[in-house]
Structure 1
Amino acid sequence: MILSGLFKDSFAASRLLKFSTELPFIPTNQSYQIFSLIENPNGFICNTMMKGYMQSNSPCKAIWVYKLMLESNAAADNYTYPILFQSCSVRLAEFDGKCIQDHVLKMGFDSDVYIQNTLINMYSVCGNLGDARKVFDDSSVLDLVSWNSMLAGYVLVGNVEEAKDVYDRMPERNVIASNSMIVLFSKKGNVEEACKLFNEMKQKDLVSWSALISCYEQNEMYGEALILFKEMNASGIMVDEVVVLSVLSACSRLLLVMTGKLVHGLVVKVGIETYVNLQNALIHMYSSCEEVGTAQKLFSESCWLDQISWNSMISGYVKCGEFEKARALFDSMPDKDNVSWSAMISGYAQQDKFTETLVLFQEMQIEGTKPDETILSDHGRNVFFSPVAAWLKDLWPEHEYKKRMPLNPNRRILTS
């Protein structure tokens, strides 16, 4: 195309650029090389390049292309500004979004519903619900996306009253809007309203079932979560990672290992057993139910392990009293965090192994890990283990000791 001079043809050049930006195996910098060779790129070509940068997770460069458009007097259109507002949303760049909004008003695109929707979303994501609502109220044309975007903004910040107001005023309520409300009620602990809304829904999708099951699980209604999951499975709804995580958590809390095994079998049948979050949930469930052998098998066979995997396995060994295996795994960890140290220290303390507790606590200090409230307490026995308390008093100055270990009426420090 360069040799034949076709690059001077805007249509041919735009087709080549569009082709290169849509193929994931072509690097964005190569697409930009094509873009840079085009003389006097028009609005469509610039929009294509901006989309390419957005698809390659380079939102800042989309703004940079827009600046080139302004310098070259290329005409922006109603496809340009939604891309720019999406770029601002990803970067939480509210100031840039306000500047672009001024350009929209100047160019006369403020009545375009797609532009208004992406602007509402940008303000909502940035937490500026006041300006988002102003755009929403001033819009001459609103569609279902407009209402859902405004509702999603209130759900994001947890504003129940405003969300309910928008939801009640919606001329048409779709599944997305109802699911958003169930999620909001769940966050606020309003299980009754979440359940009422779910039952009133004429159409339900996987997200609907998952949202209410998660609502039950987050509000410690584990039995209800499992009953609803059974209904969901009977309805032929395909499960996903999110709903299975909630169900496995409920099984762990209720120590229902047989139910957990049935869920495990369903996970394998669906083909999502290799997901690391699910593997961690299964390890935690089996460990909580004291089937540490099954948990160890999952841990050993897993191709993907993260910090949670290691901590779950260590906690499982500790709970089952297998401290040698827990310590061996702990010592072999590539990285330790507060949860790792807490599992071992609290385990030793609860078994009255104060020497091991003190030694491990000292190792933690040497490693540079700062103790948190979990490590400084022994999980609900309302006492500090005396050797650690005495050692801390010698280690820290008096003012530091009082700051880190405040006394309260529900806790007494034992002295040896």
Structure 2
Amino acid sequence: MLYALHEYAYYTASPLRMAAQMARDFWGSPANPASDTQFGRTLYASAELFANLTRRYGKPAWDLDKVEIDGKDVRVRQVEAWSSPWCRLTHFARDRNDLRRAGRAGFEPAVLIVAPLSGHYATLLRGTVQAFLQDHEVYVTDWVNARQVPMQAGRFDFHDYVDHIRSMLQALGPDVHVVAVCQPGPPVLAAASLMAEDGDPCRPASMTFMGSPIDARLAPTAVNKLAVEKPFAWFKSNMIHTVPPPYPGVGRRVYPGFVQLYSFMSMNEDRHVDAHWEYFNHLVEADGDGQAKHLEFYDEYLSVLDLTEEFYLQTIDIVFQDHLLPRGLLKYRDERLVRPEAITDIALMTVEGGKDDISGVGQTQAAHVLCPRIPTDMRELYVNPDVGHYGVFNGRRFRDEIYPRVRDFIRRREALPAAADAA
């Protein structure tokens, strides 16, 4: 019912939204002599703010048509490398001729960036992808909004996620480096553990976990506390809703993206109110830079996707309530025990932010404890004291301080002699 009411509210607001857009165009038109007055700018700002707050935010574009490498522009095109009804593995293929002109004609390692499936689109990692494109062949998991997947496609749960990671690595072949950003940490570690135990030749060469809840018992944040304070039945009764028409996934039970969005915005309500008030003032003052920064952030932040009921509830259970992976109790499809201690030749790096209010310091580096047989020279643990959760994988400090460390870690793994792989 909540999902249907949400859609009803959007459509009933359409006349007001259209009126606001017309008012915005009228008071913002250079042909209007009053557009440059304080009165005109205020009406324009009010109409623009209302139109933005009530419009539909669809999936953002990647806008990664080129990347600068060593001072030269290198063209980039998106190629689908693998797909399922739930995910498209996107290869950001760099133009070979441009790479040669930039002096990068040789081999550069392949990196599979596993984007979080936690309410936002993979485009949230635009800055992450842009950084890695400077030195790597980059592949990204572009997860599909569950409301767009017809019921005929079946279920998608935590174990299906593990299968997806394994299938992608097998499709890409040996010696791929995997980077898991936030939520994917536990299923990616589970997939790597299973592949290592099976001796799968396509197991990753290295795995980097960034702000991931490997062990959510450590340094619990407000998100972690909510997950353990509420009983499992509460999440099932209050957070799961049915997709209404006209979406292709009509009838599917999901954790709606808008519920996730409202939950996170309520945690920092004052910050978001202040941001929109500043945006209103930027509109009145015709401050183009301030407007652009606000829109760039919120166009991404307000674009959300739905998760399937089974994936969301299993994640709550496995990762945040029962902590099955760090306790050594996680069973793949309730049959096979996941054993991270089986990993011996996959290099491991963990990255955390000292100001992370989603995954507290210690939760990600717990991966080192779970993988005791990885040699010391194949490990790296890094905590940046000055970044929060988003800053772990995006922004200036990520570009200048975090990414170079991850890049060098991957290079060291590439330089290790083959004998180390059998250690």
What TM-score do you get using the length of structure 2 for normalisation? 0.21
**In terms of Rg, which structure is larger?**
1
Higher fraction of helix: 1
Higher fraction of strand: 2
Greater RCO, CA 8 A, separation 6+: 2
